[in-house]
Amino acid sequence: MSAVSSQLSMDPIAGYLEKHAEPEAMLAEAFEGSFGHAIEVPAYGETDSLFETLASVPEGPQGDVLIVVVLNARGDSPDEVHEANRVARERIAAVAPVSVVSKTPDIRLFRHPRGRLLLIDRALPGDYLPAGQGIGLARKIGCDLMLCLQAGGRLASPWIHATDADVRLPNDYFGQIGAVDSKATSAALYFFEHRFPEEEDLAEAGRLYEISLRYGTLGLAWAGSPYAYESLGSCLAVTPWAYAAVGGFPRRNSIEDFTIANDLAKIGSIERLAGSSIELEGRISTRVPISTGQTLSKLVGKRGAAAGFELHHPIVFAHLAAWLRVLGAIARRGGDLEAPLQQLPHANPFFRADLLEEALGQMGAFEKVREAIAEPGDEETILRRLHAGFDAFATRRLLDELRDAGLPSIGFREALSEAPFTGLAASTEDDLETLRLFLAEEEKGLSVVPAGIPSVELDRA
């Protein structure tokens, strides 16, 4: 049993570290120092962007910052990734290391203007990440180590920070989270904005993509979804208890951020931060199968991309809202499914109750409801079970099912003007940058209400 787990033998965090943490986590005991804040940065084929990120790390209000860089690759990674990793490794090594923590894998501690930089090198032969795993495992390695430091009393902040190697952090990055109650909150999401290159096609694609993110989040919030947030791994901070409770980051090579945020929302609130934005680089990338970079690559080069860009019809969010109201009614009635379903506006020609019920049936949503109400519980307990069953993945699928079943997507300008949640109305002839900025401000206004599975009081409101 490790020193940390022997001290905290009954602590769930210690249990996670003992049974589920990556081996690198316990190497936290092999180097000295205590830190105010810590942040993990996975780096896969990054060079200049990585060092811009490292240079942007601000001072920590509680002392030295530990930056955990997980340099990573797989054996089947392209040659250019291995070459970029080599360059990054050598540039970091140009600073004399404070200590060599481990030789297999190669882990070294370096000086950094804000504190220390810990380089975990999983990009060398013999230490490559396993096939089929990637960004999720890289994040897990770094965050597990930070959790070990926190459990050992060597990390003052009650937060585990995650970001990416192509961002610029704001000066108040660590200060923003100081007012958030880490005991009542499972995670926090920093506000973000993309920065766009000079290439016109790529900048247009980036603005369209950000508009789609804002539109979707505003629609989910309007519908009353407890999963109304953008789950970007570059903008995430997690409390140690919640990180351990959900089993850390999944090791998968895509949507690891969406997956962990979905799990975190089921056990506590996700706080939206409304301070200075993290700047994300809008660029084409093939690093992971599903990502901002992949989406941009599909948009760039399309003639008239903006003219043909579509969003979910606003009416699909109205159908989602109706289903969420049904879930609330089921909880209030102590588990009655049929009566709330009959309250759907079946005779309304502008509402397709038949499509909604068919989509939910195909998804197995009614079976999930029956499972949630099979066990006794008060209204709040049942509601939490219902929302845990109909989670972020189910929400996304329902919107897509409704689109494919007869509520097709429409042009983005039409969607923005017709949606009751954008605040744009007839203003959608503005240029893309104006629209992007307006929607960003609209979404920032949501920050006063934490995300997460709603309480009974919020549901009734």
Answer whether residue 302 shows pLDDT above 70. no
Q: How confident is the model at residue 427 (pLDDT cuts 50, 70, 90)?
A: low
Q: How many helices (H) and strands (E) does the chain have?
A: 19, 14
Q: What angle do CA 46, 263, 233 make, to 5 degrees?
A: 15
Which of 60-74, 156-170, 446-460 has the least mean pLDDT?
Answer: 446-460
Residue 253 above 90 pLDDT? no
pLDDT in the model for residue 458:
27
Main-chain phi, psi angles of 325, to 5 degrees: -65, -35
Cα–Cα separations (whole angstroms), residue 60 to 57, 174, 205 = 9, 6, 35
C-alpha 420: how far from chain center:
26
What's the pLDDT at 27?
96
Pick the residue with more confidence: 231 or 160? 160
Q: What is the pLDDT of residue 293?
A: 53
Q: Is 119 helix (H, G, I), strand (E, B) or coil?
A: strand
* Amino acid 8: pLDDT: 38
C-alpha pair distances (Å), 353 with each of 24, 45, 437: 52, 49, 35
Nearest to 156 by CA among 31, 34, 30, 3: 34
pLDDT band of 335, cuts 50, 70, 90: confident
Question: What is the distance between the alpha carbons of residues 29 and 158, in angstroms, rounded to a whole number?
Answer: 19
Q: Is the pLDDT of residue 313 over 50?
A: yes
Is 456's pLDDT higher than 70?
A: no
Higher pLDDT, 24 or 307: 24
The domains found in the chain, sorted by start residue, are 3-202+225-297 (3.90.550), 310-460 (no CATH)
Q: Is the pLDDT reported for residue 459 higher than 70?
A: no
Tell me which range, 7-21, 91-105, 238-252, is most confidently predicted by mean pLDDT.
Answer: 238-252
Tell me the sheet residues that pair with 109.
99, 118
pLDDT for 80 beyond 90: yes
Instruction: Please choose, from the candidates 408, 403, 401, 220, the residue with its C-alpha nearest in 3D space to the C-alpha of residue 321.
Output: 220
State yes or no: pLDDT of 397 exceeds 70: yes
Tokens of 110: 């370096």
What confidence tens digit (pLDDT) does each residue in 344-356 have? 988 888 899 999 9
Within a 13 Å sphere around the CA of 207, how many CA atoms are in the beta-carbon half? 21
Q: Answer yes or no: is pLDDT of 307 > 80.
A: no
| Mean pLDDT computed over 361-374 | 95
Position 446 confidence tier, pLDDT thresholds 50, 70, 90: confident
Task: Please give the structure tokens belonging to residue 13.
Answer: 């965090």
* Cα dihedral 427/432/433/439 (nearest 10): 60
Question: Residues near 373 by Cβ (< 8 Å), separated by ≥ 6?
Answer: 330, 335, 337, 382, 385, 386
* Residue 261: HSE in the Cβ half-sphere, 13 Å Cα cutoff: 25
The pLDDT score that the predictor gives to residue 300 is 57
Give the three-state DSSP class for 169: coil
pLDDT at 305: 64
- Residue 457: how many other CB atoms lie within 10 Å: 8
Beta bridge partners of 41: 69
Highest mean pLDDT among 153-162, 349-358, 448-457: 153-162
Share of the chain above pLDDT 90, in %: 77
Give, in degrees to the nearest 5, the angle at Cα 127 between 121 and 129.
90
Please, which pLDDT band fits residue 450 given cuts at 50, 70 and 90? Answer: very low
Whether the pLDDT of residue 42 is over 50: the answer is yes
pLDDT-above-70 percentage for the chain: 89
Nearest to 228 by CA among 4, 387, 121: 387
Q: Which residue has the higher pLDDT, 142 or 350?
A: 142
Strand ranges (DSSP E) for 123-215? 160-162, 167-168, 185-189, 192-195
Query: Which pLDDT band, with edges at 50, 70 and 90, does 2 fall under?
Result: very low
Angle between the 314-332 and 365-374 helix axes, to the nearest 10 degrees? 20
Collapsed DSSP state (helix, strand, coil) of residue 192:
strand
Spacing of C-alpha 2 from chain mean position: 31
